[in-house]
Structure 1
Amino acid sequence: MSSVLVVGGTSGIGREFARFRAERGDEVVLTGRDAPRADTVAKEIGALRGIAVDLSRPHDIAAALRGVGRLDHLVIAGVSRDDNKVTEYDIDAALRLVTLKLVGYTEVVHALQDRLHAGSAIVLFGGQAKERPYPGATTVATVNAGVGGLVNTLAVELAPIRVNAVHPGVVGDSPYWQAKPEKVLAALRTETPTGRLATMADVVDAVDFLLRNGSVNAVELNVDGGWLLG
């Protein structure tokens, strides 16, 4: 049995991973921005508890995580969708996302460093906008590229604790992509060498692998069916 904290575990892939590990019998704590929702989701999936953590408010993170105990696995999956073109630049939106994804992620690790141990492992969430940006991905592409730098420096600073990142491609059954028109998804499937889009189960499996394999460190793992080759 492992102790697991999933930051950003109330929806999407974060929730699926928290559910997967709770059903496997691990001691799972999850976080979300809203305390009642975090508590509700924790009860629904069989996690120990849910707590409120807002990654965009890094000064409050340490206090919010004070009750978390010794950790084997830490997954930071909190994300925010951002549509921000450089031609119509929203500075406040950019500052929020940069703070959430880079400062917030780092502060979570900083706040929990005394509860990690030599055998602990961390997985951060990036995304493939860093490789295939689109109009409006100005900030998203930047912060996801920054996750790679963060992985490297944390792996050095925290050694022997392992730190890796997962970069999902288009996850066809995620709430975000399920809401897209079928013709959009069909076009994306034709651009993917496997002929299928990644699933949340695929990403969950990838995260679990990164946490379990003791020789995988400072790796950025793409989960996209080869979509980047399209």
Structure 2
Amino acid sequence: MSTVVVVGATQGTGRALAAEYARRGADVFITGRTQERATTVAGELAAETGGRVTGLALDLSRPADIAAALEPVRHVDRVVLVGMVRDMNSARAYDVDAATTLATTKIVGYTTVVASLHPRMSADASVLLFGGMAKDLPYPGSTTLTAVNAAVQGLVRTLSVELAPVRVNSIHPWAITDSPHVAANEQLRDMAQKMTLTGRLATMADIVDGCLFLLENPIANAIDLKLNGGIA
């Protein structure tokens, strides 16, 4: 029986991945910023899948509190870091607080989760970090997001060396057509779809499939996987 921790799984792709592991019989821990939200979604997932899902409160932007938040996890085989905050923040009008929250969340927060759980990881454990295509395709307002998504690649390099034989990979999706953020923005969907070579955007199911490859294939390690349909 495997144990899976998905950090940032109260909606979107994180929720879909947690559901898939619950259907497969794993013991799943999901996190949200509040205990109420995490508990509610855990209950929904358990009802939908018939699996075992536990909700924990964890705020990646508060790394000093992360170790205590993860205390209920006594053993872990798969760790997935999806959680993020959205930040439109240009260099010409720089919001220091917003930038600090985002950088803390995706660099310090992600690393703190991995460091906290590492002593409880199995020998064949694997870790998956979510980045994003803003690292390669900056746009006005993506200054900090572009930087931290590129930093995710750096984390994969160092963590895969430091934690070996634990495998560490990252996934970098383009716009996901049925994710809450993209589904609500028709203009964004159309623009993103026109940029792909396939003429289609990924669904959450497509991204979950990529996640499962990186998490479960025993030779997949130190990979930064772009799932974007090709960008013209």
Normalised by the shorter chain, which TM-score bucket? over 0.9
Runs (4+) of structure 1 exceeding 4 A deviation are none
C-alpha RMSD of matched pairs (Å): 1.0
What is the CA-CA distance between 1:53 and the residue it aligns to?
0.3
Q: 1:203 aligns with which of 197, 207, 211?
A: 207
Distance in 2 separating the partners of 1:191 and 1:44? 36
1:19-168 aligned at under 5 Å gives the runs: 19-46=19-46, 47-168=52-173
What is the CA-CA distance between 1:184 and the residue it aligns to?
3.9
Match in the other structure for 2:7 = 7
Aligned residue pair count: 227
Distance in 1 separating the partners of 2:159 and 2:191? 37
* CA deviation string 1:67-96 (max 9, x = no partner): 112111000110111100000000011111
AA in 1 matched with 2:210: A
What TM-score comes out, normalization by structure 1 length?
0.96
AA in 1 matched with 2:140: P
Distance in 2 separating the partners of 1:187 and 1:142? 22
Identity %: 52
Distance in 1 separating the partners of 2:192 and 2:173? 14
What is the CA-CA distance between 1:186 and the residue it aligns to?
2.6
Distance in 1 separating the partners of 2:166 and 2:220? 11
Match in the other structure for 1:212 = 216
Match in the other structure for 2:225 = 221
What TM-score comes out, normalization by structure 2 length?
0.95
Distance in 2 separating the partners of 1:175 and 1:143? 22
Distance in 1 separating the partners of 2:15 and 2:83? 10
SS in 2 for 1:55: coil
AA in 1 matched with 2:22: A
Match in the other structure for 1:193 = 197
- Contact 2:182–2:188 (CA<8 Å) still a contact in 1? no
Q: 1:180 aligns with which of 185, 191, 194?
A: 185
Match in the other structure for 1:17 = 17
SS in 1 for 2:150: helix
* CA deviation string 1:162-198 (max 9, x = no partner): 00000011111110001112x4423322221111001
AA in 2 matched with 1:77: V
* CA deviation string 1:89-123 (max 9, x = no partner): 00011111100000000000111111112200000
SS in 2 for 1:152: helix
Distance in 2 separating the partners of 1:199 and 1:49? 25
Distance in 2 separating the partners of 1:15 and 1:78? 11
Distance in 2 separating the partners of 1:53 and 1:19? 19
- Which 5+ residue runs of structure 1 have no aligned equivalent? none
Distance in 2 separating the partners of 1:226 and 1:149? 23
SS in 2 for 1:69: coil
Distance in 1 separating the partners of 2:228 and 2:129? 17
What is the CA-CA distance between 1:11 and the residue it aligns to?
1.1
SS in 1 for 2:122: coil
Deviates more, 1:88-97 or 1:19-28: 19-28
SS in 1 for 2:140: coil
